[in-house]
């Protein structure tokens, strides 16, 4: 089996897939801790559907090569708007997210169907939603973009760790003691959009929330402190991503769903372990 793996690793696209997979798993698990604790899980889910809608727009415009320039700005704007108005508004937060989420999904599919530019529409939709093969077709430019963005995200988490904790635990207190909470919320929204768009390549837009939520929840089953939750969540996510990728290569299974399946197994293990310790 080792030999088979070595053989696979001699292909650049397999190496790219591992680099990108590990980085995205790491970033999304860090962000996931914030989202889960701030009760924002559904915003991540909604945004991934917005990214799908934006992807459809770029396909219709016939600029699939430069799709990032369409998807990234749209997702960032929606993320900023959603976080800004999550607390005070006539429409309650979760119904607004549900509307945007299902709306973008529907409009996206409608656009792709009406302005059909490719021969195999259902394969296109399937790829965008479940990311079936896109991680194995990455170009070297995409890999570099992913590396740079991931390093930026990780850097922000390391440098602003205490601010992020203060905002996640108690936004009012943080604001009352002089922290610029609007700025940090804006930053979180931008990071969220960036990670979601990157993760679309790995698991597809439907499974992004799994990558965000599962490692964080798994870590929370056993960890007592915020620091440990963050570290364990990152570890679980990276291990699951590597295991999922290996399994999907050896077993010829779809990459995204295989990674999520290993995340589910990790959650079950942590859940049972957490219960047994009590």
Contact residues: another protein, CB under 8 A: 37-39, 158-159, 161-163, 165-166, 169-170, 172-179, 220, 223-227, 229
**Distance between CA atoms of 243 and 58, rounded to whole angstroms?**
33
Distance of closest approach, residue 94 Cβ to another protein, in angstroms:
14
Distance of closest approach, residue 159 Cβ to another protein, in angstroms:
6
97's CB contacts (< 8 A; 6+ apart) are 42, 43, 45, 46, 82
Distance of closest approach, residue 225 Cβ to another protein, in angstroms:
4
Q: Which of residues 90 and 119 has its CB atom nearest to another protein in the complex?
A: 90
Is the separation of the CB atoms in 157 and 164 below 8 Å?
Answer: yes
**Distance between CA atoms of 142 and 241, rounded to whole angstroms?**
19
Is the separation of the CB atoms in 274 and 221 below 8 Å?
Answer: yes
Distance of closest approach, residue 183 Cβ to another protein, in angstroms:
13
Q: Which of residues 103 and 274 has its CB atom nearest to another protein in the complex?
A: 274
* Helix, strand, or coil (residue 262): helix
Q: Which of residues 141 and 172 has its CB atom nearest to another protein in the complex?
A: 172
Write out the H or E segment, with its range, that includes residue 101.
helix 93-114
Distance of closest approach, residue 113 Cβ to another protein, in angstroms:
41
* Helix, strand, or coil (residue 134): helix
Q: Which of residues 168 and 205 has its CB atom nearest to another protein in the complex?
A: 168
Q: Which of residues 67 and 175 has its CB atom nearest to another protein in the complex?
A: 175
């Amino acid at each position: 089996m080792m030999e088979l793996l070595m053989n696979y690793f001699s292909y650049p696209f397999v190496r790219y897939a591992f680099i990108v997979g590990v980085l995205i798993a790491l970033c999304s698990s860090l962000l996931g801790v914030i989202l889960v604790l701030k009760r924002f899980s559904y915003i991540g889910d909604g945004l991934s559907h917005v990214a799908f809608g934006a992807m459809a727009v770029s396909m219709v415009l016939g600029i699939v090569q430069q799709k990032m320039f369409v998807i990234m700005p749209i997702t960032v704007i929606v993320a900023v708007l959603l976080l800004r108005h999550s607390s005070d508004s006539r429409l309650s937060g979760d119904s607004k997210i549900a509307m945007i989420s299902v709306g973008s999904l529907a409009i996206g599919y409608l656009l792709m169907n009406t302005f059909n530019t490719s021969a195999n529409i259902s394969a296109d939709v399937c790829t965008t939603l479940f990311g079936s093969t896109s991680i194995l077709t990455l170009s070297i430019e995409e890999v570099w973009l992913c590396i740079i963005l991931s390093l930026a995200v990780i850097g922000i988490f390391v440098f602003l760790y205490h601010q992020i904790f203060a905002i996640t635990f108690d936004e009012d207190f943080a604001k009352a003691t002089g922290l610029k909470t609007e700025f940090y919320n804006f930053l979180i929204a931008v990071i969220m959009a960036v990670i979601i768009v990157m993760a679309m390549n790995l698991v597809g837009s439907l499974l992004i929330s799994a990558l965000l939520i599962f490692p964080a929840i798994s870590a929370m089953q056993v960890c007592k402190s915020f620091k440990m939750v963050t570290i364990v969540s990152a570890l679980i996510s990276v291990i699951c991503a590597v295991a999922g990728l290996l399994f999907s290569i050896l077993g010829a299974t779809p990459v995204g769903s295989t990674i999520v399946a290993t995340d589910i197994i990790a959650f079950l293990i942590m859940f049972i372990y957490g219960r047994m310790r009590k």
